[in-house]
Chain A
Amino acid sequence: MRDSNNSNKKIIFLSVLSAVLLFLALFSWLSLSCHKSLGAVLKQVALNSFKGGYNVLLSPFVCKVSIKILLLCLGLACFFMVFVLDILFSKDYRSSPSLSRLKKIFLVVFVIICCMTNGFQVMGILGDYLPKYSNKYFTKSSDKKYVKFVTQLDAYARVCQGLLSYRYCRAEFITDLDLQEGFGMTTHRMLAYFLYPIDIRHEKPEEQINCKVIFQKDKAMDYVGKEYKALKVFNEKNIFAVRNDF
């Protein structure tokens, strides 16, 4: 039992030592090849390790090298290094190590690699994510946080909602943006969310259109029409209008 514990400790010690040495060697090579300091390379990896992507998180690249592949190579190299060291430091180095020992080495090495990735993620969160939000936007009200993401949309929507005292109004959305894809589509969905109960998304046949949201449209005033009055002219491209009898 005691021998087994000592043996496990030896594997862990050798794995950590090898992983640290290989880590320093690989990242030093990387920093030399892309003419950056080691600190700068590590910082770049950390900052790209936790980007709040919601559909897929891309593995960080530094100087066109995938950090994921680099760490995988590190893991495999570390595994062979510990394997060799374990044979060399064993009491009887002529006997081959058992399969269970190989499995242990393998598991320990890959847990260390997972921990390294976690370490980068933690550094990314602590060094980039938390300060970015807490310094500028950590306030009780969520309003200020929107300044970061969608300043204009939110402000625009709040003004329009305020003008109607938050009443429901089915609205026509008039814009030059392409609503089928990309930026235009995203903007439309965001605006629809912020504007509600001014409804620019649902086509309810039983509800009459009573408002016009003219957004990012050249010569916006031309689209107001006689039956409508411009309640708020934000600029020549953005107008909020309601039916005269609404």
Chain B
Amino acid sequence: MTTAMQLFISIWVPWILGYACILYILGRVRLPFLLILSLSFGMGLGVLCQWMLFLGMLRVPYHLDIIGIPLIIITVLFFAAYLFNRKKAAQQPRYLLPEKTQKKGTIFWLSFFYVIFVVFVAFWMALTIPVFSWDAFATVAFKAKILFIEKTLAFLPYSSHAAYPLHTPFVEAWIAFNLGIWDDQLIKIVFPLTLCSFLLINYVFLRYFMDNKWALFGCFLFCSSAFFVAHATISYRDFFMAYYNALVVILILLWRKFDEDRLLFLASLFAGFATFVKIEGQLYLGISILLVVLLLMSDRRIGFRKKINKSLLFLIPSLLIWLNYFVYNRLILGIMVEQKGTIELGWEQLGRINDILNKLFIDCFYSGNWNFVWYLLVFSLCLQLEKVFRSQAIKILLFLLLCFLGNIILLGTLTASYVWLAGKLWYQTLSRLVLHFYPVCVWLVVLLNAPMAPHQEQKQDP
């Protein structure tokens, strides 16, 4: 079998698995095909990694057949279950996108060609420049290489950063298992593919709130950030973190928009997968839980019992996925928390807040990371203040932005992470943390500036 074919299989097995899972979960609910297809990529990778973790916990040696064949069987079962349920389902709610704008114009084509160019560059860079960045050598690709060679998780207690979750190493190792060799370039194909999935999901998500011109402009803003694009080409975990974090927010917003609990369940699964990408994913899970609980509390249309049920629908799957690795890593393997996660309490720590805000300001407004997108957000908020009060989606996103920023401030103030967030090594970490919630900034810019159809604001906007 040629390398291209092996690579193709390594991508499509989890992708189709994800597609089957999403079809089964959504059941009678009809979402745009583009959205289902792009969500399937994240879902497939998430399920694949949980399966590999499960095998590792049972000390089953990693082989292509042992990993792949059960996944194919699960895919077939999910498809069969979906088809069986589909016949029984009477109603099929369809959440269609609003009408497209007929007139495309310069901004549409400019955005379109720029996004295509960036996607091409991302593929080119990922597939021609081998692993050479620090975190890849030190942890991510190194762990993946060990997984590929040793075919077990036995090395984990002895490895550096042993507490780090294993999503990215598992994905890279899976591709290497398919290829049969360790290839420093081809294992990175998953990153630009994630970028494509990310852009498509964002496009469809924004289309629910605005016309195609503005939705594409949102994708253009994403691609305007050199840092965002650079991370879609290297073997770091931060792009996956931003991806899953964004999926959770998108699905929670769509759940509010359509009042469809299956979307909440999907959001819960993705929030769980996010905890397996980076340790920060646990904090973001906390923020998502807070958001869901607040949204349910503020909803007067449903009773208390229903609120509890909906809360549990989000809490149980995400917490189970998180607990799975947490219990294995901390309790069974006995791996200690990272030194940077240790709590440092004292009044003098309050002085750190100023440093953290200062560094956040430098990163958002002065670095070359984000183009002028953060400026656009600040100016848009000043100029479109009345929209903040009219749209609940904007209110939710602003709340999330404050939570994410507050999260950084709390981490820097109360833990030993200060050195990496505002101390002498701030430039090594802070931008990557901001990357995790950069999508919220882009969505806010677009939602604040895009003209909304009156019927959308009143009826559909949560």
Contacts and interface: CB of A to CB of B under 8 A. Distances in A.
B69 interface: no
A68 B185 contact: no
B69 to A, nearest CB: 27
Given A59-B366, A68-B368, A106-B383, A134 B128 contact: yes
A213 to B, nearest CB: 16
Interface stretch (A21-29, A85-93, A196-204, A225-233): A196-204
Interface in A30-71: 49-50, 52-60, 66, 68-69, 71
**Size band of the interface chain A makes with B:** 35 or more
B234 interface: yes
A58 B431 CA distance: 11
A142 B363 CA distance: 34
Nearest to B141: A193
A102 B383 contact: yes
A145 B184 CA distance: 10
Contacts of B430: 56
B67 to A, nearest CB: 21
Interface in B345-379: 363, 366-369, 371-373, 375-376, 379
Determine the main DSSP class of A at the interface with B. Answer: helix
A110 B419 CA distance: 34
Interface string A160-188: 00000000100000000000000000100
Contact of A53 (B160, B217, B230): B230
B130 A145 contact: yes
Contacts of A122: 114, 117
Contacts of A114: 221, 224, 371-373, 376
Nearest to A202: B158
Interface string A110-151: 110111011001100100011001100110001001100110
Given A56-B227, A114-B371, 15 more contacts: A49-B226, A52-B125, A52-B234, A53-B230, A54-B134, A54-B231, A56-B428, A102-B383, A110-B379, A186-B134, A186-B137, A189-B142, A192-B142, A193-B141, A202-B158
Contacts of A145: 128-130, 185
B372 A71 contact: yes
Q: Which of A121, A190, A203 has the most CB of B within 10 A?
A: A121
Contacts of A59: 366-368
Given A54-B234, A66-B366, A110-B379, A121 B226 contact: yes
